[in-house]
């Protein structure tokens, strides 16, 4: 292994690649910091600061236009538009922060799910699934999608650890992984990559198109809707999976037609009914599996031979695994890559599980179909069947359903026309063994319904194929076993476990790139101006906070068993704990009539009222968390990296959401991918102090083996035994031989290095021999296991770096597109400012207005704005006019920001009347008439000063990050910007934002 190992997998090369990756991604951090911060020179490149300033100017001109038109009144009463209870509405900004924490750190949801599984709360697990899908509903956001994949991977890892049988892993009735995988596959992100290959009726290779062709015609030439001497001709071309269900439906149809009760069917009609049901089952088996693999009787073989539609499902599945899921490696589609990454993760867990050593799953060095059953279940049940079921019922697939109906009508009309033309010419052929066809065909108006029925039956059959415990008829059971074998083999080939192609042919999927995508998505989400939105109903919010608070704390089940809660750190340091406690902190009326203040769960009445109101809330999640990371550009080196790799989930998270353990990696690039599950012995060596014994021995073996690029064979082969004493004898023998070669002058330049390593290796083996005698532990087998895992770790690390450099190219392309979009939006905003300043209108509109004798209101607004600017300029505008008389244009532009400092002072009573101030501290209520409040713009935030007459009582600064809450979820909240213990004033978020906008328009540039 060490001799044949590629150079890129050696530790020095890996360390060098790690440094290169750190430099690349550190440059992305610096680029982001430059675009978020205020540039040192106004003539520099366009940044987000420039865009924010342009948006501020546009808002001021808009407000001035409204003022001139007399459309400005009191601030809007937004609370009248919202039916959600005030106690919930006041906490929505905290819910937004909670959603951010749950999204960015998947370990919280993993802990909640583990607690729900322990308590076997099926109702809460259903709520957990529903809310988790909505928390990660915006899968078009790169960061959200990759964090969701990370969450599903972590949940699958926890389920594998708890599973007692492999059949329990990823089964729909026991696991949450399948429905979460379906959430990705059924998102419109996978429309082109997964939906169309399965559902597109215009694609001849799609599964729906194959079902359509079977339903219309058995041989591709003769339509099914022709006059026949057989009974139950309306069942021709239909499938069934459940014999009892099919019999009930057919009996009902026949009873209605003959006007007989179910129990009064004549014997010959009952025989016809049984024959029709069996024919439907045989047709489904023939359609799914070809005659070459499953023909067990002459009748089925004849049926398969006569039908051009035989084996269509197997043919589609092979195509789906080899072509569709593999995709185009040069242009990987995001949704498809997330699906294959999850399937890779599931298979990795199967290979590393305790079940992999059983002969049931691995026989003679090859994986069996039973080992691949979790993957088979996911592909058949939660990708293909789930899409087929939703295609029938979900409105999201309405356009595809309409295409199917149109295609079915056209295909049926074409076949009927051809058949009737041939029949009228006397060239109709009659099949003597099958139904005796006599007469012409006619178009079937119920054909779309029959197609949808067949799609439903195929979906149900494939779902049963993914469930080993499904109860199927004998014929379909045989077909299900064959499909499991075929798709199991295809999956193993796609995962790279087996190869059955031509040399050089790429059959397997792209390697698992979850870890590299998680890191690159941090930067790609920042190089994107589109906000990520999470939509939750009021009922979802109440259920989520109730579940989190109920299972927040760990419970000591017994002396040695602890059920860990949702909280990951100490209470005063855990973000989710503090947020949930603050959300639930309210006054509750007890049945006795007393009021209790503190955290309390929402009652069932609150949930019912929220459900009746049916209101939904849009939360803008700040996935661009580096924007407010607080890094100081003048600081030489930040105290801690703004990105921490979580040791539990592997997700890069903000420092405040990290677990805080020693295994959390302070930095972006991680080297170790594998947990040893071994106690690595430490020994003292004279030349190096305390070192890892196994690492030192591996260095010795690497020096002895040489490398395939420089040596034709292993230089000094050691014995194949696992005994460390044999290894010590080999070391001694090699040391003596190399020493003799050096003395004779036959040694090469590396001989001294090898001798030094052999000397230290012998010391390590001597120390291990002593430890073995003291601890009674045989380290020989552990050392061999270490070598295998060390080789696997280096191989995985090399693949990780390959993916990381590929992902860096994607980040670079995203950055280029981001800067281009930033310039375009900035240019469009400046153009809008120019038009808004003058209230100009296109000449075409003005000419039409004059021709129709219509007076344009904007002409009056233009006249009023010009008069207001000339005769009553703001303080900042007057200072700018004065500056222009003495300075050049360049100097004026440089000093604009020094002049543009909007400020205004209000009486507190006036702000209370406008609803801006909602609450005063008790100590200042008597002085309310003497209270003055000054608002001053500063560093994109707001400085608020409180005076009693001319004496300053309090001063506090509101940063831009806090002000951004007033534009979103904090518009309904009462916010205080000082510490809760030092609270003096509380402001309504929405009305405060309204006030600051008007202050900027009245006093700014």
Between 762 and 807, name the one with better pLDDT: 807
Largest CA distance in the chain: 113
- What count of Cα atoms within 13 Å lies in the side-chain half-sphere of residue 262? 6
Reduced to 3 states (helix: H, G, I; strand: E, B; else coil), residue 887 is coil
Burial (CB count within 10 angstroms: exposed 0-12, middle 13-18, buried 19+), residue 781: exposed
SS3 content of the chain, % helix, strand, coil (to 5): 60, 10, 30
| pLDDT of 506 higher than 90 | no
* Rounded Cα gap, residues 720 and 727, in angstroms: 9
Split at pLDDT 50, 70, 90, the class of 297 is very low
| pLDDT at position 265 over 90 | no
Task: Report how far residue 975's alpha carbon sits from residue 968's, in angstroms, rounded to the nearest whole number.
Answer: 13
Q: Is residue 273 pLDDT above 60, yes or no?
A: yes
**What CA–CA distance (Å, rounded) separates 471 from 412?**
35
| Number of other CB atoms surrounding residue 660 within 10 Å | 14
d(CA 916, CA 993): 9
Alpha helices in 839-888 (DSSP H): 843-851, 857-871, 875-886
pLDDT value of residue 387: 94
Beta strands (DSSP E) in 578-712 are 585-589, 595-599, 616-621, 644-645, 652-653, 665-666, 682-685, 689-692
Residue 637: pLDDT over 60: no
Q: What is the pLDDT of residue 425?
A: 72
Q: Please tell me the distance from the alpha carbon of residue 140 to that of residue 125, in angstroms, as a whole number.
A: 26
Q: Is the pLDDT of residue 997 over 60?
A: yes
Phi (first) and psi of residue 657, to 5 degrees: -105, 0
Residue-level pLDDT at 736:
72
Between the alpha carbon of residue 520 and those of residues 28, 142, 461, 797, the distances in Å are 10, 9, 40, 16
Least confident of 54-63, 190-199, 251-260, 943-952: 251-260
Give the model's pLDDT for residue 95.
94
Q: Say whether 366 sits in a helix, a strand or coil.
A: strand
Give me the pLDDT at residue 824, please: 94
Residue 680's pLDDT is 66
Residue 716 pLDDT level (bands cut at 50, 70, 90): low
Task: Give the residue with greater pLDDT, 122 vs 230.
Answer: 122
Tell me the average pLDDT across 537-543.
94
Helix axes 142-162, 107-119, angle to 10 degrees: 40
Q: What angle do CA 329, 332, 335 make, to 5 degrees?
A: 140
Q: What span, in angstroms and rounded, lies between the C-alpha atoms of 210 and 444? A: 18
Weakest-pLDDT range from 196-205, 705-714, 801-810? 705-714
Residue 994: both structure tokens together: 């309204």
- Rounded CA-CA distance 830/54 in Å is 7
Q: What is the mean pLDDT of residues 852-865?
A: 84
**CA 985 to CA 989: how far, in whole Å?**
12
CA proximity to 618, closest of 537, 535, 532: 535
pLDDT score recorded for residue 745: 66
Phi and psi (nearest 5°) for 635? -80, 135
> Is 60 exceeded by the pLDDT of residue 256?
no
**Residue 653 three-state SS:** strand
According to the model, what pLDDT value does residue 582 have? 92
Q: Please, which contacts does 495-504 make with residues 24 or more away whose CB atoms are closer than 8 Å?
A: 495/343, 495/344, 495/347, 497/367, 498/366, 498/367
Per residue in 37-82, pLDDT tens? 888 777 778 889 999 999 999 999 888 888 888 887 777 777 777 8
Distance (Å, rounded) from C-alpha 651 to C-alpha 146?
Answer: 9
pLDDT above 50: residue 504 = no
Task: Report whether pLDDT(670) > 80.
Answer: no
Q: Print the SS3 string covering 891-957.
A: HHHHHHHHHCCCEEEEEHHHHHHHCCEEEECCCCHHHHHHEEEEEEEECCEEEEEEEECCEEEEEEE
Q: Residues 907-938: pLDDT tens digits?
A: 988 998 888 998 888 777 777 788 899 999 98
pLDDT tens digit sequence for 447-464: 888 889 889 989 989 998
CA distance 199 to 398: 12
* Token code pair at residue 580: 């949930």
Q: What is the pLDDT of residue 750?
A: 64
DSSP 541: H
Q: How confident is the model at residue 542 (pLDDT cuts 50, 70, 90)?
A: very high
Average pLDDT value over all residues in the chain:
80
- Ranking 535-539, 547-551, 845-849 by mean pLDDT, the lowest is 845-849
Secondary structure (DSSP) of 448-481: HHHHHHHHHHHHHHHHHHT-TT----HHHHHHHH
Residue 441: strand, helix, or coil: strand
pLDDT for 778: 63
For the segment 576-602, the average pLDDT, to the nearest whole number, is 83
- The pLDDT value given to residue 173: 77
Look at residue 96 and tell me whether its pLDDT is greater than 90. yes
The pLDDT confidence band at residue 633, using thresholds 50, 70 and 90, is very low
Q: Whose structure tokens read 């030192």? A: 696
Task: Check residues 99 and 950 and name the one with the higher pLDDT.
Answer: 99
d(CA 316, CA 73): 65
433 pLDDT band, cuts 50/70/90, is very low
- pLDDT, mean of residues 434-450: 67
What's the rounded mean pLDDT across residues 328-334? 69
Residue 870 has pLDDT above 90, yes or no: no
Query: Strand pairing of 665-666 and 951-958?
Result: unpaired
Query: How far apart are alpha carbons 797 and 9 in whole angstroms?
Result: 8
d(CA 847, CA 291) in angstroms, rounded, equals 77
More confident residue, 801 or 302: 801
Residue 233 phi/psi, 5° resolution?
A: -70, -15
- Which pairs count as long-range contacts for 46-49, CB under 8 Å and 24+ apart, including other chains? 46/819, 46/822, 46/823, 46/826, 47/822, 48/822
Mean per-residue pLDDT for 808-829? 93
Is residue 462 a contact partner of residue 269, using CB atoms and an 8 Å limit?
no
> Measuring CA to CA, which residue among 289, 298, 290 is closest to residue 477?
289
Dihedral (Cα; 958, 962, 963, 966), 10-degree rounding: -130
User: Which segment of 228-232, 344-348, 509-513, 821-825 scores lowest on mean pLDDT?
Assistant: 228-232
Q: So what's the pLDDT on residue 664?
A: 62
User: Measured on CA atoms in the order 761, 764, 765, 766, is the torsion positive or negative?
Assistant: positive
The token pair that represents 304 in the structure block: 């398969």
Q: Which pLDDT score, from 0 to 100, does residue 430 have?
A: 46
């Amino acid at each position: 292994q060490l001799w044949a190992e590629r150079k890129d997998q050696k530790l020095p090369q890996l360390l060098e690649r790690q440094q290169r990756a750190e430099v690349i991604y550190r440059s992305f951090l610096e680029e982001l910091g430059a675009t978020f911060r205020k540039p040192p020179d106004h003539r520099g490149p366009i940044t987000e600061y420039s865009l924010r300033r342009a948006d501020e100017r546009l808002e001021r001109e808009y407000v001035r236009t409204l003022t001139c038109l007399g459309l400005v009144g009191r601030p809007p009463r937004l609370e009248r538009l919202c039916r959600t209870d005030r106690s919930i509405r006041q906490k929505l900004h905290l819910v937004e922060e909670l959603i951010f924490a749950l999204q960015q750190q998947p370990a919280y949801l993993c802990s909640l799910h583990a607690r729900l599984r322990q308590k076997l709360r099926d109702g809460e697990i259903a709520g957990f699934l529903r809310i988790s899908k909505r928390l990660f509903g915006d899968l078009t956001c790169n960061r959200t999608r990759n964090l969701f994949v990370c969450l599903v991977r972590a949940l699958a890892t926890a389920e594998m650890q708890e599973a007692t049988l492999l059949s329990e892993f990823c089964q729909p009735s026991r696991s949450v992984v399948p429905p979460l995988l379906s959430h990705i596959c059924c998102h419109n992100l996978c429309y082109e990559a997964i939906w169309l290959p399965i559902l597109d009726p215009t694609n001849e290779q799609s599964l729906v198109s194959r079902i359509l062709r079977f339903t219309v015609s058995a041989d591709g030439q003769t339509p099914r809707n022709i006059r026949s001497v057989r009974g139950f001709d309306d069942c021709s071309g239909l499938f069934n999976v459940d014999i009892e269900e099919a019999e009930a439906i057919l009996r009902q149809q026949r009873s209605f037609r003959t006007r007989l009760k179910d129990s009064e069917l004549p014997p010959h009609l009952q025989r016809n009914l049984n024959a029709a049901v069996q024919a439907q089952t045989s047709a489904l088996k023939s359609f799914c599996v070809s005659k070459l693999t499953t023909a067990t009787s002459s009748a089925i073989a004849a049926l398969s031979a006569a039908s051009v539609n035989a084996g269509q499902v197997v043919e589609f599945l092979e195509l789906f695994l080899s072509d569709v899921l593999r995709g185009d490696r040069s242009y990987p589609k995001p949704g498809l890559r997330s699906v294959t990454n999850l399937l890779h993760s599931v298979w990795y867990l199967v290979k590393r599980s305790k079940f992999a050593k059983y002969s049931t799953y691995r026989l003679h060095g090859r994986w069996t179909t039973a080992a691949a059953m979790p993957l088979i279940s996911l592909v058949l049940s939660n990708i293909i069947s789930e899409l087929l079921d939703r295609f029938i019922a979900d409105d999201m697939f309405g356009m595809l359903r309409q295409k199917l109906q149109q295609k079915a009508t056209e295909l049926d009309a074409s076949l009927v026309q051809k058949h009737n033309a041939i029949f009228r010419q006397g060239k109709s052929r009659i099949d003597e063994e099958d139904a005796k066809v006599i007469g012409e065909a006619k178009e079937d108006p119920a054909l779309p319904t029959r197609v949808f029925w067949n799609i439903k039956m195929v979906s149900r059959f494939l779902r049963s194929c993914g469930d080993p415990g499904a109860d199927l008829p004998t014929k379909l059971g045989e077909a299900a076993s064959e499909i499991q074998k075929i798709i199991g083999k295809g999956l193993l080939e796609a995962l790279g476990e087996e190869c059955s192609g031509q040399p050089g042919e790429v059959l397997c999927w792209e390697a698992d790139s979850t870890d590299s995508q998680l890191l690159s998505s941090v930067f790609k989400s920042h190089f994107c101006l589109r906000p990520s939105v999470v939509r939750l109903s009021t009922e979802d919010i109440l259920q989520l906070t109730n579940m989190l608070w109920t299972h927040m704390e760990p419970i000591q089940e017994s002396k040695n068993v602890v059920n860990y809660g949702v909280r990951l750190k100490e209470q005063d340091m855990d973000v989710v704990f503090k947020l949930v406690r603050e959300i639930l902190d309210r006054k509750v009326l007890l049945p006795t009539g007393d009021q209790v203040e503190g955290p309390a769960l929402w009652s069932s009445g609150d949930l019912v009222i929220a459900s009746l109101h049916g209101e939904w809330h849009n939360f803008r999640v700040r996935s661009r968390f580096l924007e407010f990371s607080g890094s100081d550009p003048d600081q030489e080196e930040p105290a801690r990296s703004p990105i921490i790799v979580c040791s539990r989930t592997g997700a890069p998270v903000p420092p405040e959401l990290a677990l805080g353990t020693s295994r959390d990696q302070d930095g972006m690039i991680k080297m170790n991918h594998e947990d040893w599950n071994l106690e690595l012995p430490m020994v003292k060596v004279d030349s190096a102090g305390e070192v890892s014994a196994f690492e030192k021995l591996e260095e010795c073996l690497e020096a002895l083996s040489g490398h395939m690029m420089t040596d034709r064979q292993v230089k000094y082969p050691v014995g194949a035994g696992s005994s460390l004493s044999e290894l010590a004898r080999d070391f001694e023998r090699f040391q003596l031989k190399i020493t003799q070669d050096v003395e004779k002058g036959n040694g090469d330049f590396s001989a001294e290095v090898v001798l030094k390593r052999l000397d230290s290796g012998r010391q390590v083996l001597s120390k291990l021999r002593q430890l073995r005698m003291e601890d009674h532990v045989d380290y020989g087998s552990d050392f061999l296991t270490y070598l295998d895992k060390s080789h696997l770790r280096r191989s995985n690390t090399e693949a990780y770096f390959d993916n990381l450099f590929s992902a860096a190219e994607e980040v670079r392309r995203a950055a280029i597109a981001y800067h281009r979009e930033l310039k375009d939006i900035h240019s469009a905003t400046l153009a809008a400012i120019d038009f808004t300043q003058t209230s100009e209108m296109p000449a075409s509109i003005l000419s039409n207005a004059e021709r129709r004798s219509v007076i344009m209101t904007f002409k009056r607004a233009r006249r009023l704005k010009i008069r207001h600017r000339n005769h009553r300029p703001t303080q900042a505008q007057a200072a700018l006019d004065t500056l222009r008389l003495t300075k050049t244009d360049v100097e004026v532009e440089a000093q604009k920001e020094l002049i543009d400092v909007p400020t205004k002072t209000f009486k507190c009573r006036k702000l209370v009347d406008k609803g801006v101030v909602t609450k005063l501290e008790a100590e200042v209520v008597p002085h309310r008439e003497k209270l003055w409040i000054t608002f001053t713009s500063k560093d994109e935030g707001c400085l608020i000063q409180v005076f009693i007459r001319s004496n300053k009582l309090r001063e506090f600064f509101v940063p831009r990050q806090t002000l951004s809450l007033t534009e979103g979820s904090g518009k309904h909240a009462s916010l205080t910007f000082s510490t809760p213990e030092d609270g003096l004033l509380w402001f309504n978020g929405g009305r405060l934002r309204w006030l600051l906008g008007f202050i900027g328009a009245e006093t700014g540039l």
